[in-house]
Chains A and B, each alone.
Chain A
Amino acid sequence: MQKVGFKGRFFPYVLIAPQILITLVFFYWPASQAVWQSFLIQDAFGTRVEFVWFENYETLFSDPLYFNALVVTVVFSTTVAALSLGFALLLAVMADRQIRGARAYKTFLIWPYAVAPAVAGVLWLFMFQPSLGIVAQQLKRMGVDWNYLLDGRQAMTLVILASAWKQISYNFLFFLAGLQSIPRSVIEAAAIDGAGPGRRFWTIVFPLLSPTAFFLLVVNIVYVFFDTFGIIDAVTLGGPAKATETLVYKVYSDGRLGGDLGGSAAQSVILMAIVITLTAVQFKYVERKVHY
C-alpha cells in the first residue's frame, strides 16, 4: 500500500467526516440511548421514570421466556446459516460449470435477493397458509397435518425455509464470484495429480473459497440475528406460543407491543453484545484457518 501524505492535519479529518458522522448519528447515538434506557424503568403511561441500575437485566436473566428466545435464536440462526450457505455453495458449484444458458440461471438465482424480507414472508405465507396455501393443500393431500399456526415446529420450519431462501441468492453470488476467481489450471493440476471431482472440491476449491465463506458467515450471522425480523413478523408474529420468537423479535414485542421500554432496551444491548462478540470471535479464530 502506498502511503499518502496530506498537507495540514485538518484535511484528512474532513474526508472521513461524513462516515464518522453517519456512524455517530445512526449507531453510537441510538446505541448509547439504548444503554441508558436499559437502566430505566418506566410505567405504562410514561409518566414516571426511575433509574434502577441493573434491575432490567436481572429480571431478564430470571425470565424463562428470555431463555426460550435464546434457544429459538440459536436453533434458528444455525439452521438458516447452514442451509443458506450450503445450498448457495451447491448452486454456485453447479452454475460454475460450463453449461448452456448459465447466464440465465445465474440471473434467476439472484432475483430472490431483490425481494424485501416482509414481502418474502408474505410470499411464503400465501404458499403455506393452512387453509388456502397451495403448498399447504398439497401437504394435506399427502397426509401431513399442516398447520403452522398451531404447531410450533412447523412454524419454525417455515420461517427457517423462508429466511434461508431469501439469503441463498446473496450467498450464491459471492460463492460464484469466488469460484470463478480460482485459476482453472490449479484444478486441472489436481485432476492430473489424480484427484477425482469430490477430492478436488474439498482439498483445492473449498480451501481457496474459504475467504468468501468466512465473509459470508459473518454477513449471514448478522442477517439471521436482525434482518429476519420482517419474515418472522409477516409469517408467525413470533408464535405460536413464542415458538419462533427470536431475540430480535422479542425486543420488538416487549418494547413496542408490551410497552416495557427498559427491558426491551436491556435486551437490545445484550443482542448487540452477542453480535459484536460473535463477529470478534469469528475474526480471531476462524480467520486464522482462512487462506487469502
Chain B
Amino acid sequence: MAEVTLKDVRKDYAGNQVIHGVSCAIADGEFAVIVGPSGCGKSTLLRMVAGLEEISGGEITIGDRVVNDLEPKDRDVAMVFQNYALYPHMSVYDNMAYGLRIRGMTKAEIDVRVQKAAATLELGPFLDRQPRQLSGGQRQRVAMGRAIVREPKAFLFDEPLSNLDAKLRVQMRVEIKKLQRALDVTSIYVTHDQVEAMTMADRLIVMNKGVAEHIGTPIDVYAEPATLFVAGFIGSPAMNFLETRVGSDGALELDGARLTPKTRLDPGRAVTVGIRPEHLAPGGGLDIQVELVELLGADTLVYGRLSDGNSLVIRLPGTQVPKSGDRMPVHANAGAWHLFDTETGKRLGTA
C-alpha cells in the first residue's frame, strides 16, 4: 500500500506531446478514476505509472520511491488489462501463481494466497481450467485474482469492464469496488464510461486532450465542473449549453429569462450558460417547443427548442407527457446555472 504521486508528468511521441503535465497525489488506499473520451491520454498515463511507457517529463512516485527509471517488475504494482491478458497456456491456478513463483515464494505460501484469492473471487471450481474454457466474467475474475494475490502497492485497471456485457459490467463494478474497500489498496482505474467513473471513484481525474481538466470527488465534479468540457462529459443526459453575452447591467439575457451571476462579470463578455436537464422544471421563464419525448419509466426526457433555435433537454420525474408540438414553459432555480467563459472554457461561477 502506498501513495501514488504524479508531478507534472508529460509524454511525447517523437516531439508530439500527448500528455501535457498532469499533477495529482493519490492517497494511500484511495480509488482514483481517470475518465475521458478515447484518445485523451488516460491509458497512456496509466501505462506510465505501470512502467510500460517511458516517462518523457515529470516524476512519478509510488510510496517513497521515484519510479521513473524502474522496470515494471520493480514497481510492485499489479495491472488488470482490458483484454484480461491471461496467460493462455496456463491454468487459472498457474495464472495467479506466476507472479508469486517469480518472487521465489514457497509452494505452501503460494497455495495459501491463491486459494484465498480464489475463495474471494469464487474461482474455486475453476482453478484447473484453462482461460479459454472460461466465460468473459470468469476471465475478468482471474485477472483480478492475479492482481490481488500479489498484494501489490497499487492496483492499476485499464478499462477492465469494457469487454463485458452491460449486466455483468454493473455486477463487476460493484464487486471491484467492494474488493478494493476490503483490501484497502491504492487503485487507479481508467475508463471512458462516466457512470463507472462516478460510482466507483473516491476521486475523479477528468482528462481531455492530455490535460487533467478537473481533479476532485465525483460530487464535486458534478456540482462544480471546472471546465465546459467536464460539464458536458460528466452527467447523463449531458448538460445543456446556451451561449450569450453579459449585458450592460451585468445580467445574462437568455431567451425569455434573465440570470444574475453570483460573481460580477464584465459587460460584453461571451459566456456559455450550462444547465443540467434534471435541474429544469416546468413553469416560468423559458418557453420551449417540445420536439421529442422519451419515456424511461422512472423519468421522462423532453427534447425541446427555444424560439432562438437552441435545443434544450429536460428531465422530468415520473411520466408526465407533454405532446410533441406543445409549448412548455420551463425554469431552473437560482444557483443551478453554471457559467463558463466561452473562449477559455473555464468556470466563472453560478447564476
A191 contacts B73, C-beta separation under 8 Å:
yes
Interface string of B105-118 (1 = CB under 8 A from A): 00000000000000
A196 contacts B73, C-beta separation under 8 Å:
yes
List the B residue with the shortest CB-CB distance to A195.
B102
B203 within 8 A of A: no
Query: How many angstroms from the CA of A192 to the CA of B85 in the assembled complex?
Result: 11
The distance from the CB of A213 to the nearest CB of chain B, in whole angstroms, is 13
Within 8 A of B (CB), among A185-215: 185-186, 188-196, 199, 203-204, 207-208
Cβ 8 A contact of B85, one of A183, A207, A208, A291 = A183
Size of the B side of the interface (Cβ < 8 Å), in residues, is 24
Query: How many angstroms from the CA of A208 to the CA of B88 in the assembled complex?
Result: 8
Cβ 8 A contact of A188, one of B81, B88, B103 = B81
A194 contacts B103, C-beta separation under 8 Å:
yes
* Interfacial chain B residues near A193, Cβ < 8 Å: 73, 78, 98-99, 102, 146, 150
B88 contacts A186, C-beta separation under 8 Å:
yes
A189-B81 CB under 8 A given contacts A194-B73, A196-B73 = yes
Within 8 A of B (CB), among A160-190: 183, 185-186, 188-190
In terms of DSSP, what is the predominant structure of the interface of chain B? loop
List the B residue with the shortest CB-CB distance to A187.
B85
A208-B89 CB under 8 A given contacts A189-B79, A192-B50, A194-B103 = yes
* Interfacial chain B residues near A188, Cβ < 8 Å: 50, 52, 72, 79, 81, 85
Query: How many angstroms from the CA of A267 to the CA of B72 in the assembled complex?
Result: 58
B102 contacts A194, C-beta separation under 8 Å:
yes
* Interfacial chain B residues near A207, Cβ < 8 Å: 89
A199 contacts B102, C-beta separation under 8 Å:
yes
* Interfacial chain A residues near B77, Cβ < 8 Å: 192
Interface string of B85-104 (1 = CB under 8 A from A): 11111000000001100110
B83 within 8 A of A: yes
* Interfacial chain B residues near A185, Cβ < 8 Å: 81-83, 85
B71 within 8 A of A: yes
Query: How many angstroms from the CA of A191 to the CA of B73 in the assembled complex?
Result: 6
Most chain B CB atoms below 10 A, which of A188, A189, A195, A291: A189
The distance from the CB of A190 to the nearest CB of chain B, in whole angstroms, is 7
B72 contacts A191, C-beta separation under 8 Å:
yes
Query: How many angstroms from the CA of A189 to the CA of B98 in the assembled complex?
Result: 10
Query: How many angstroms from the CA of A183 to the CA of B83 in the assembled complex?
Result: 9
List the B residue with the shortest CB-CB distance to A208.
B89
The distance from the CB of A128 to the nearest CB of chain B, in whole angstroms, is 43
Query: How many angstroms from the CA of A267 to the CA of B88 in the assembled complex?
Result: 45
A194 contacts B99, C-beta separation under 8 Å:
yes
B72 contacts A186, C-beta separation under 8 Å:
no
Query: How many angstroms from the CA of A190 to the CA of B81 in the assembled complex?
Result: 12
Most chain A CB atoms below 10 A, which of B71, B79, B85, B103: B85
* Interfacial chain A residues near B75, Cβ < 8 Å: 192
Query: How many angstroms from the CA of A186 to the CA of B146 in the assembled complex?
Result: 12
* Interfacial chain A residues near B102, Cβ < 8 Å: 193-195, 199
Cβ 8 A contact of B87, one of A191, A196, A204 = A204
B103 contacts A291, C-beta separation under 8 Å:
no
* Interfacial chain B residues near A186, Cβ < 8 Å: 85-88
Query: How many angstroms from the CA of A69 to the CA of B85 in the assembled complex?
Result: 50
Within 8 A of B (CB), among A223-275: none
Query: How many angstroms from the CA of A199 to the CA of B82 in the assembled complex?
Result: 24
List the B residue with the shortest CB-CB distance to A290.
B89
Query: How many angstroms from the CA of A196 to the CA of B51 in the assembled complex?
Result: 13
The distance from the CB of A196 to the nearest CB of chain B, in whole angstroms, is 7
A192-B88 CB under 8 A given contacts A185-B81, A185-B83, A199-B102 = no
* Interfacial chain B residues near A189, Cβ < 8 Å: 79, 81, 85-87, 146
Within 8 A of A (CB), among B116-150: 146, 150
Query: How many angstroms from the CA of A210 to the CA of B112 in the assembled complex?
Result: 32
* Interfacial chain A residues near B51, Cβ < 8 Å: 191-192
B71 contacts A191, C-beta separation under 8 Å:
yes
* Interfacial chain A residues near B146, Cβ < 8 Å: 189, 193
Query: How many angstroms from the CA of A186 to the CA of B82 in the assembled complex?
Result: 11
* Interfacial chain B residues near A291, Cβ < 8 Å: 88-89
Query: How many angstroms from the CA of A46 to the CA of B301 in the assembled complex?
Result: 99
The distance from the CB of A287 to the nearest CB of chain B, in whole angstroms, is 14
* Interfacial chain B residues near A191, Cβ < 8 Å: 51-52, 71-73
Query: How many angstroms from the CA of A203 to the CA of B83 in the assembled complex?
Result: 20
* Interfacial chain B residues near A203, Cβ < 8 Å: 98
List the B residue with the shortest CB-CB distance to A291.
B89
**A–B pairs, 13, beta carbons within 8 Å:** A183-B83, A185-B83, A185-B85, A188-B50, A188-B85, A189-B87, A192-B73, A192-B78, A193-B102, A194-B73, A196-B71, A196-B73, A291-B88
Instruction: Rank and list the top 10 A-B pairs by shortest CB-CB distance, nearest first.
Output: A193-B99, A185-B85, A291-B89, A189-B85, A194-B73, A194-B102, A191-B72, A207-B89, A185-B81, A192-B72
Interface residues of A (CB under 8 A from B): 183, 185-186, 188-196, 199, 203-204, 207-208, 291
